[in-house]
């Protein structure tokens, strides 16, 4: 159940990121520079949050695997 929810959340995040990027470009090139810039900033903030979260999850995974491996010996 949790994997299903996590998969849907990932798909939603990917779709949101693509929509923000496309909308930012379209609005920017239509001449609404401030609104386009705001959408790009939101895109970058979400991208930064996701990358930081994945970095922490990967570090936890490596730490736990190293800890389990060291306990066996």
Digit-coded pLDDT (tens) for 26-71: 999 999 999 999 999 999 998 898 888 887 777 777 777 776 766 6
Domain extent at residue 20: 2-72
What confidence score (pLDDT) does residue 71 get? 66
C-alpha span between 53 and 48 (Å, rounded): 9
pTM (2 decimals)?
A: 0.68
Instruction: Tell me how many domains the chain contains.
Output: 1
Q: Could you tell me which of 58, 39, 36 has the C-alpha nearest to residue 47?
A: 39
What confidence score (pLDDT) does residue 64 get? 75
Q: Is the pLDDT reported for residue 13 higher than 80?
A: yes
Summarize pLDDT for 22-38 with one digit per residue, the tens: 999 999 999 999 999 99
């Amino acid at each position: 159940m949790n994997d299903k929810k996590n998969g849907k959340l990932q798909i939603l995040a990917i779709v949101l990121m693509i929509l923000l990027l496309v909308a930012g470009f379209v609005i920017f090139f239509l001449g609404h520079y401030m609104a386009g810039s705001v959408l790009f900033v939101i895109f970058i903030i979400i991208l930064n949050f996701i990358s930081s979260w994945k970095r922490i999850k990967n570090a936890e995974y490596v730490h736990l695997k190293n800890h389990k491996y060291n306990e066996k010996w």
